[in-house]
Chains A and B, each alone.
Chain A
C-alpha cells in the first residue's frame, strides 16, 4: 500500500481529523465546535477505511455523526445563549503542559518501539464474522452491552424528565374539562418555572 492515492487519502484524512480537533479548541462558539467534531469523526471514519475496517467505518458514521453529534447539538440548544461559548478554564496552561507530555511520551513509544508489524490481509466478509463472534465468543459482553445501553436509556430519561409540575398542571386542566368548567380558559404560553435562587439551591444541596 504505497500508491499515490493511498498516500493522498491518508494525509488528507489525517489533516481533516487533526484539523477538526484543533478547531474545537480554537472555536469560540460551541455549535461550531460540534460541527468541527463531526468533521474530525468523519476523518476517523475515513482512516478506518484506509485500514480496511469497512464495518467499523460505517458504524462510526452511523453512531458518532448521525447520533452523538446530533444529541450534543440538542443539548446545546436546550441551554440558553449565554452558555454557548467555548472558552477555557484556568486549568488551560497545566492542561497544555500535560498534553505535551502525553504527546511526547506516546509518540516516542510509537516511533521507537520495534513493532515487528506486518500488514495483515484485510478481513474478508467482516460484517458476517463480527456478527458471528458477537453471538459466539463474545456473547456475554454482548448481552452486558445490551443491558448497559438499556440502563443508559432508562437513566437518561429518568434524569432528563421533570414531570411533577407539568403533570400537576395537566391533571388540573383534565379535571376542568371533566367538570365542564373549561369554557373560561386562560392560555398560558410560558408557565413560570419554579425559581430557584442560586444561594437557596446551594444551601439545600449542600445540606442534603
Chain B
C-alpha cells in the first residue's frame, strides 16, 4: 500500500471531526478552545497534504497560507484565554453551560 493523498485527507477529516466534537461537547471553556485548535490543525494538515500532492505548483503559497493560519490561531488563543479569565472573574466559573446571561 502506498501512502498517498487520500490517507492524509482521511486523517485530516478524522482529526477535524474529533476537534469538532470536543469544541461542541466540552463544558470547560479551555476544552472548547482545545477543540478549535485541533480543527485548525486538521485544516493545516490537509493544506500541507494538498501542497505536496497537487497537480499544479501551489506548494509555496500553501505553506505561506498555513503560516498565516498558525499566526491567527496564536492570536485567537491569546484573546480567548484572556476572555476566559474575564468570564471567570465576573461569573466565578468557566463552564460554558453556566454563562447564560443572554437567556435573560
Contact = CB atoms under 8 A, between A and B. Distances in A.
Interface of A: 1-2, 6-7, 10, 14, 17-18, 21-22, 24-25, 30, 33-34, 37, 40-41, 44, 47-48, 51-53, 55-56, 59-60, 63-64, 67-68, 71-72, 74-76, 78-79, 83-92, 94-96, 98-100, 102-103, 106-107, 110-111, 115-120, 122-123, 126, 129-130, 133-134, 137-138, 141, 145, 148-149, 151-153, 155-157, 159-160, 162, 196, 198, 201-202, 205-206
Interface in B64-86: 64, 66-68, 70-79, 81-86
Given A103-B14, A148-B72, A155-B82, A37 B34 contact: yes
A120 B82 contact: no
Contacts of A141: 68
Chain B binding surface SS class:
helix
Contacts of A149: 71, 74-75
Interface size on B, as a range, is 35 or more
25 contacts: A10-B7, A24-B34, A24-B35, A37-B34, A37-B37, A47-B48, A55-B63, A63-B70, A72-B33, A78-B85, A78-B88, A79-B84, A86-B28, A95-B21, A100-B17, A102-B20, A110-B6, A130-B67, A133-B60, A138-B68, A148-B71, A149-B74, A152-B79, A156-B78, A196-B92
A111 to B, nearest CB: 5
Contacts of A86: 26-28, 31
A129 B33 CA distance: 32
A33 B34 contact: yes
Contact of B27 (A74, A87, A206): A87
Nearest to B61: A133
Contacts of B33: 72
A14 B15 CA distance: 10
B30 to A, nearest CB: 6
Interface in B32-62: 33-35, 37-38, 41, 44-45, 48-49, 51-55, 57, 59-61
